Structure 1
Amino acid sequence: MLEKRAAEFQLDEEVREKTVKEPFDSQYRCGALLGSGGFGSVFSGQRLCDGLQVAIKQISSDRVQQWARLPGEVGPVPMEIALLQRLAEVGGHGGVVRMLDWFEVEGRGFLLVMERPPHGQDLFDFITERGALPERLTLRFFRQIVEGLRFLHAHGVVHRDIKDENIVVDTRTLDVKIIDFGSGAPLKETPYSEFEGTLGLQPPEWIVSQAYEAVPLTVWSLGVLLFDMVCGDIPFERDQDIVAAAPVFTRRVSKECQSLIRWCLSYRPEERPTLEEILSHPWMGGGEAEEEEEEHSSLPSQSL
């Protein structure tokens, strides 16, 4: 089934009318640099027609690792654009960043115009400022992330780099979004033989056999992320620790939360839960109203 979705994604021959759109500079204003890395650079931006604040990701063509073809386009586009376009066409999801537009600009490569939460902060900085998060706040974030990943997988996309830096928190609403699909790929049931994510966050099977499957990789990443939120740092730094798959809890964490983390960080991929099993875990059963009240009271008011 997953292979079929991936094939549909790659081979979709639906004829779409290609419209000529206005150039980037006549629609958007590019602002200050927000961050940069191996993928390219991200700038603040504004849509000129209505003043909407956006994020503009610039990708140099020579840095693109994977290419794809979109119906109606003459040349190939970065896989990231193809994946985000696919998600936009099915309506998007509240827990996943939305691509609003994209452009290929001579001399600048590809420009991706993304939605930008008005009070956004990436989860890495959020944790750095506050330290380990209360479990109820962690639960609120984690549930949204898992639901967002279910949406991705249901529409044939695997992210492959789930980590705190790729989660944006709206500090006013405490809603989160998964961002940065630069390591993403079409979802398939067969193993992947290339690792596009962050070194140090790879699962044991990649270290041991240089292969992994989409869902077990995602769940391993979720285990690392959940540990990171409740303990304030990732559980493993070295390959030998990853392969040992025995997280040591550095803070007081409930038994239910520990059990979910250890399940996600099972050494054997087939022993890890599915995303649906994660959502059914006893730790995930906290009440929404109580969560929100405790979360807001647990955060320093000046941080919001």
Structure 2
Amino acid sequence: MLDTRTVELHLEEETRGKKVKEPFSSQYRCGSLLGSGGFGSVFTGQRLSDGLQVAIKQISSDRVQQWARLPGEAFPVPMEIALLQRLSEVGGHSGVVRMLDWFEVSERGFLLVLERPPQSQDLFDFITERGALPERLAQRLLRHIVEALLFTHAHGVVHRDIKDENIVLDRKTLEVKIIDFGSGDLLKETAYNEFEGTRVYSPPEWITARQYHAVPLTVWSLGVLLFDMVCGDIPFERDQEIVKATPVFTKRVSKDCQTLILWCLSYQPEDRPTLEQILSHVWMEGGGEEEEEEEEEEGGDLQGNHSSLPG
């Protein structure tokens, strides 16, 4: 992994980016390392023209799994750039992280400049700190996530790695954003035979047959995510548990919520709901007054010092 100093050391090298002529270093300042993984590294950053706080994702070229071509570009770019560019060109969505710029740095891969939501924390850390969430809050978060996914699918993008770590929550407004499209792909109706997402969120058909379709994969991962929110942890850790597809509820969960989770976690892909059916499920329209009051009481405690940024 590149540390901050190494990244900055090479920013003066020739760069290219769609509709960008000035080099990265004349437009942005790279800050401290936020995190790193198989994809590369993410840093804090600042846009020099107006001081806007951003996140800067560095992707090593030799770790890119899929490439794509953009109009007007002579060379291919990582699929993640192409997907985020596509979503940006149609106006973006409040529930999807926005890519502001991208650059290729000679011999050092690619730099993605991403919006950096203030007062944010990823859902994994949010649940780790607070435990199982009230159903009313889980319902609100799930609705935002599903609406954002409907937007991405409508514009030909499938995320393929929906999980708590890839959902950033604004601790003040409770608005969410889906981040990290590094495992994403162009949406298609035929089966996918490759998977770069998170195995414990993957569906039985991937474990048993090494293939899946976009919507049933997405819906299965949403079932895992909803279980995670209302129970405080994911339902499956091992392949045998995924294939069995019978989660054991470890917390008191309403019947309607259980029904939605079990529907999303149906063993057969064709038995799972669509994203639209999730939104119209009775549980998504419910939520008791007591839970709503509990959410309001907890709202004042949502702001904190921990921050998790787009990856």
The C-alpha deviation readout for 1:205-245, integer Å capped at 9, x for no partner, is 01111110000000000000000000010000111110000
The C-alpha deviation readout for 1:39-92, integer Å capped at 9, x for no partner, is 111101100000000000000000000000001111100000000000000000
Q: Distance in 2 between matches of 1:259 and 1:63?
A: 40
Unaligned runs of 5+ in 1: 1-17
User: What displacement does 1:292 show?
Assistant: 6.5
The C-alpha deviation readout for 1:152-192, integer Å capped at 9, x for no partner, is 10000000000000000010111000000000000000000
Equivalent residue, structure 2, for 1:155: 155
Are the counterparts in 1 of residues 28 and 48 from structure 2 also a CA contact under 8 Å? yes
Equivalent residue, structure 2, for 1:228: 228
Structure 1 segments of 4 or more deviating over 4 A? 287-293
Q: Distance in 1 between matches of 2:56 and 2:167?
A: 17
- The alignment-based identity, stated in percent, is 78
User: What displacement does 1:122 show?
Assistant: 0.5
Are the counterparts in 1 of residues 104 and 110 from structure 2 also a CA contact under 8 Å? yes
Q: TM-score, normalised by structure 1?
A: 0.91
User: What displacement does 1:21 show?
Assistant: 1.8
Over 3 Å counting, the alpha-carbon distance change for 1:50 and 1:128 in structure 2 is: same
User: What displacement does 1:302 show?
Assistant: 7.0
Equivalent residue, structure 2, for 1:3: none
Q: Which has the higher contact order (CA 8 A, sep 6+)?
A: 2
Equivalent residue, structure 1, for 2:37: 37
Q: Distance in 1 between matches of 2:23 and 2:288?
A: 45
Over 3 Å counting, the alpha-carbon distance change for 1:54 and 1:19 in structure 2 is: closer
- One-letter amino acid matched to 1:92: G
Equivalent residue, structure 1, for 2:179: 179
Tell me the SS of whatever aligns to 2:201. coil
The C-alpha deviation readout for 1:84-138, integer Å capped at 9, x for no partner, is 0000000000100000010001133100000011111100000011111111111
Q: Distance in 1 between matches of 2:290 and 2:108?
A: 48
Equivalent residue, structure 2, for 1:114: 114
Equivalent residue, structure 2, for 1:67: 67
Equivalent residue, structure 2, for 1:247: 247
Q: Distance in 2 between matches of 1:23 and 1:293?
A: 51
Superposed CA RMSD: 1.7
User: What displacement does 1:288 show?
Assistant: 11
Tell me the SS of whatever aligns to 1:301. coil
Are the counterparts in 2 of residues 266 and 272 from structure 1 also a CA contact under 8 Å? yes
User: What displacement does 1:200 show?
Assistant: 1.9
2:126 is equivalent to residue 126 of structure 1: yes
Are the counterparts in 1 of residues 172 and 302 from structure 2 also a CA contact under 8 Å? no
Aligned length: 287
Q: Distance in 2 between matches of 1:126 and 1:151?
A: 25
- One-letter amino acid matched to 2:244: A
Equivalent residue, structure 2, for 1:9: none
- One-letter amino acid matched to 1:282: V
Equivalent residue, structure 1, for 2:189: 189
